[in-house]
A and B are shown apart, each in its own frame.
Chain A
Amino acid sequence: MAHGERVDFKNPVINWIDVRLPIFTMMQKEYGTFPTPKNFNYLWSFGGIAMFMLTAMIVTGVFLAMYYTPSTDHAFDSVERIMRDVNWGWMIRYIHMNGASMFFIAVYIHIFRGIYYGSYKNPRELLWILGVTILLLMMATAFMGYVLPWGQMSFWGATVITNLFSAIPLVGDKVVTWLWGGFSVDNATLNRFFALHYLLPFVIFAVVGLHVAALHVSGSNNPTGIDPKGPQDTIPFNPYYTIKDAFALTLFIILYALVVFYAPNMLGDPDNYIPANPMVTPAHIVPEWYFLPFYAMLRSFVWDIHIPFTHIVLISSKLGGVILMFGSIALLFVMPWLDRSPVRSAVFRPIYKKLFWVLVLACVTLGYIGGKPPEQPYVLVGQIATVVYFAFFLIALPLLPKYEKTLPLPKSISESVLKKG
């Protein structure tokens, strides 16, 4: 922690606290006067929006937990009780349920901003890795949260995804039994998922703290990808970005409120309003929309890889799908080392810019495919989109620095801003 000069505050109470624990000085430095590039566009508001969503999810989650019962006999009914009998229960539940979707919207936009503008490059590699860690924790939290209402999709989604771990060679079945705490998804599984679902958001909170700390070491990136060269390139975070982020957050909340109050079940699966029945599998098991691209990748690997001329399976199609699914996120971790271009921002990288939109198209396509039944032509389209996704990271990124002619960079942020005006 920096021990710079401390300036007294006018308010005696605030000053008394600050002398003993300089939180106000810290807030002043990190969120008050912090020199921030002056050319942010609204894509830079989504980090703050994500922070708001984490808080909203924790607050609504705690109040839901006052009425939720994590046992297979009572879980579904306790959720219906929240919806019907608890004062404002319907609203708190819908805010929490749709908040998960809004949280992923904000985080996906935030991540794609990072990919487009090279925010993962030196010196922000660890910032980026912490961010991908947050994404993984969010995915685990959301997965477990969806199981809690104990509807048909809750149960069968849990069954499908936990069964994937049996693909691990040698110890797969033991791992699955260990995850379940039994011989199928049952009470033990539900109870532990509740415990972990309550825990992980606080772990996310801690990693977000590290993420923001790392950001404040390097300072923010900006749309040009060029470092600020002096105070002429920056503005103090308060009031310029506090008010800009407040405005962006307001628009985001309006969208959120429209969903919560006018279409609260639009993003959900109606099958989850049927109590879980271990004897009956729904016709179409589909995860929530934010998992669809990964689900598509999982189902795209349809071959068993044998040792040649034998029946021995080296990599089952199940294992292959699992490797692809987890691999797609593992690749994100190493992006700073896959892309060696010295130019950060896609604004000055004409080929990278086009390939970025190809990646976005591949992700959207994978999302669409993930929601479809595993039949042709969907399977083939999904396989092509998976190949495109992996090609972006494994082929395009490493090769581009050699073959891409980047545009000349402006001399400074100021220059780029003034040229536009």
Chain B
Amino acid sequence: MAQPPSSPAEHISDEHDKDRRDFMVLTAGTMAGVGAACVAYPLIQSMNPAADVLAMASTEADLSQMKEGQSLTIVWRGKPVFIRRRTQKEIEEARVVPMSDLKDPQTDQDRVKQSIFGGKDMPEYLVMIGICTHLGCVPLGQKPTDPHGDYDGWFCPCHGSQYDSSGRIRKGPAPKNLEIPPYQFTAADKVKIG
């Protein structure tokens, strides 16, 4: 459509036209990109958990009925949470394990919380997310009749991961200890998860 430049003035104005065109294309293109991002953001964000899902984020558990050696499973954010009132034997077993024996080194003290209620030392309750850190199965060990593995804890039937009495991985393909969720005691025998 453009005629070949026939004079220096026309030649310069063609150059200016090209610069102007480049500028227009660049700015319009950038605005279009910004516009596209503005459209995409709310749509993608809408797929994140909705307000009511987020509100279901805390679960309370009443531990007053638990006897020593008993385990309780509750649901938190759609996941199983293992709560165990451990025996002295289980606690001592967990305490004496050297860190070099552990694939994911963590002391038992780091995995249990001491309640501010009741006595100054309450390592009786172990609170963990009951999902194997390998591929996500729920390990066995909550019931007395369940297999507990060789370390007096939990045994995952899917690929044979074994956790000890502190929920730490001792044998098998799982890479990490059973996850400890955020929780706190709201009374000597009540706990709020999340």
Q: Which residues of A contact B (CB under 8 A)?
A: 59, 63, 66-67, 81, 84-89, 91-92
Contact = CB atoms under 8 A, between A and B. Distances in A.
B52 A87 contact: no
Contacts of B96: none
A101 B153 CA distance: 63
A67 B50 contact: yes
From B46, B48, B53, residue with most partner A Cβ within 10 Å: B46
Q: Most chain-B CB neighbours within 10 Å: which of A66, A81, A85, A91? A: A85
Nearest to A91: B42
B2 interface: no
Counting from the closest, the 8 A-B pairs by CB-CB distance are A88-B42, A85-B51, A85-B50, A85-B52, A86-B50, A88-B46, A87-B45, A87-B46
26 contacts: A59-B43, A63-B43, A63-B46, A63-B47, A66-B46, A67-B50, A81-B50, A85-B50, A85-B51, A85-B52, A86-B46, A86-B50, A86-B51, A87-B46, A87-B48, A87-B50, A87-B51, A88-B42, A88-B43, A88-B45, A88-B46, A89-B46, A89-B50, A91-B42, A92-B43, A92-B46
Contacts of A86: 46, 50-51
A81 B52 contact: yes
- Indicate the size class of the contact surface on chain B: 10 to 19
B86 to A, nearest CB: 39
Contacts of B50: 67, 81, 85-87, 89
A393 B124 CA distance: 88
Given A67-B50, A81-B50, A87-B46, 19 more contacts: A63-B46, A63-B47, A66-B47, A81-B52, A84-B51, A85-B52, A85-B53, A86-B46, A86-B50, A87-B42, A87-B45, A87-B48, A88-B42, A88-B43, A88-B45, A89-B46, A89-B50, A91-B42, A92-B43
Interface string B56-83: 0000000000000000000000000000
A325 B53 CA distance: 46
A92 B50 CA distance: 14
A255 B43 CA distance: 21
Contacts of A88: 42-43, 45-46
Nearest to A86: B50
Contacts of A89: 46, 50
Interface in B18-48: 42-43, 45-48
Contacts of B48: 87
A376 B50 CA distance: 50
A18 B175 CA distance: 48
Contacts of B45: 87-88
Contact of A92 (B42, B51, B53): B42
Interface string B95-116: 0000000000000000000000
A89 B45 CA distance: 10
Contacts of A87: 42, 45-46, 48, 50-51
A88 B45 CA distance: 7
Nearest to A56: B39
